[in-house]
Amino acid sequence: MASVVVVGTQWGDEGKGKIVDLLTQHADFVVRFQGGNNAGHTLVVDGKKFVFHLIPSGILYEDKQCMIGNGVVLDPEVLLKEMKSLAQQGLPVTPARFTISENTHLIMPYHKVLDMGSEANKKDGAKIGTTGRGIGPCYGDKILRSGIKCGDLLDEDLFKEKLKENLAEKNDIIVNKFGGQALDVDTIFGQFQEYTEELAPFLGNVSMKLDVARKAGQHILFEGAQGTQLDIDHGTYPFVTSSNVVAGNACTGSGFGPAHIDAVIGIIKAYTTRVGEGPFPTELFDEVGAGIQKRGGEVGATTGRDRRCGWLDGVVAKDAVRLNGVTGLALTKLDVLSGLDTLKIANAYETGGTTYHAMPGNIRKAQQVKPVYEEIPGWQENISAVRNADDLPQKTKDYVKRIEDLTETPVMLLSVGPDRAETMLLDNPFEK
């Protein structure tokens, strides 16, 4: 039995969905433990593209159990659309292999209105770049103890009581602060009654099911969203998401004891990208950055926005290894760097005569730092057809080795293309 956590080491979009899909072959359970539908996982399997926003990508395997943990915030409309889309592709999602924690909080219509209104009211320099999907306001209500949980759907009186209390407060903000239209209790109640009919069979106690699975010796894979630098506590705050994305939240967000985690796999892109606002020390504004963006197809699966691109940030990578307790790296999109004469890796930052070896906690300093680069020879060969790491060009191997040395962490997996087959598993965490 092994329990493995997969996390992003940068600002998200590192290719977690593909890596989770690969590791799922060796797991029995796949658990999403945080975030909402503001994150997207894109998979290409046998040339067919799948985009997931809530359901764990392990759902593509018919013999696997998939779960949404209590650390997730769930938009039922989005989830049901995703389930119907999979059914239309011949992959029906049934209660026999998909469970939603009854403690998962619901994203309500007023959360989306508040999200958009709050962002619109910020000055340009203060905008976060939120997706406007209600994630932050939903997590806010959870912390303020006024949230509505999935399990509340099964008690009509409780659900309606909570809905009325929330709308009395939220409508005041929507109307008087944002100049919008008040939302109607009965309309929302009726809408969610329809959701309840479809979702009720999927609700359950994820924590207990995982404990039974662990004691039975089954393999469990925990899947996070976003990346370490978007963590609400450890990221470039306030330009972050509204949940803890680090590996420690795999336990909190699912009800699984921390002593039972065996490995943490950190997904690291061969370069660095970011969507939305916020610090990005290694960002490129030249032809090299534009070339990486084009060759890497760097467009957000959820937002549709072009991703900002830059050289690999070793400071961010080392932060992630420390914060997550990463035991192995999965290096993705290595093929995108083919054709470049020289590659760069930031191994420190400087500003005002001070050198930083970690991302500054002060956001203004984080925005001011300049990367201290080391240069590494690039390679010209197209490596997308390589299926054995030993067959990679020597300069490619040197680049991989430098990442291992810098992070003091072994690379356990290499990806040279978007398809499932274009991935080399060097060391399987489920076989330890």
Could you tell me which residues are beta bridge partners of residue 272? 310
Can you read off the two tokens belonging to residue 261?
């985690």
Q: What is the mean pLDDT of residues 68-81?
A: 96
Count of beta carbons in the 10 Å neighbourhood of residue 163: 20
For the chain, give the percent of residues with pLDDT over 90. 80
Is it the case that residue 263 has pLDDT exceeding 90? yes
pLDDT at 113 over 60: yes
pLDDT tens by residue, 188-208: 999 999 999 999 999 999 999
Residue 280 has pLDDT above 90, yes or no: yes
0.85 exceeded by pTM:
yes
374 or 63: whose pLDDT is higher? 374
Rounded Cα distance between 245 and 267, Å, is: 13
Strand partners, 31: 67, 222
Let me know: does 74 contact 107? Beta carbons within 8 Å: yes
Please state the rounded mean pLDDT for residues 359-369: 97
Q: Which residues are catalytic?
A: 13, 41
Q: Which residue would you say has higher pLDDT here, 43 or 87?
A: 87
Q: pLDDT band at 383, cuts 50/70/90?
A: very high
Is 46's pLDDT higher than 90?
no
Which tokens go with 233? 């506590």
**Range with the poorest average pLDDT among 49-58, 154-163, 211-220, 413-422:** 49-58
Q: How much is the pLDDT for 57?
A: 80
Task: State mean pLDDT over 207-214.
Answer: 98
**Residue 188: exposure state from Cβ atoms within 10 A (0-12, 13-18, ≥19):** middle
| Six-digit token string for 131 | 């997706």
Q: How far is CA 80 from CA 205, 247, 374, in A?
A: 20, 28, 48
What average pLDDT does the segment 404-414 reach? 97
- The pLDDT of residue 302 is 62
Cα distances (angstroms) measured from residue 262 to each of 185, 216, 325: 46, 16, 11
Helices (H), 177-256: 185-199, 206-215, 249-252
Average pLDDT rounded to a whole number, residues 405-421: 94
CA angle 152, 156, 157 (to 5 degrees): 100
**Which of 4-8, 123-127, 418-422 has the least mean pLDDT?**
123-127
Look at residue 198 in the predicted model and tell me its pLDDT.
97
Quote the mean pLDDT of the chain: 93
pLDDT at 310 over 80: yes
The pLDDT assigned to 38 comes to: 76
Instruction: State percent of the chain over pLDDT 70.
Output: 95
Count the neighbouring beta carbons within 10 Å of the beta carbon of residue 176.
9
Kind of pairing between the strands at 328-332 and 354-356: unpaired
pLDDT in tens, 332-345: 999 999 999 999 99
Does residue 1 surpass a pLDDT of 90? no
* Strand-strand pairing, 48-52 and 41-45: antiparallel
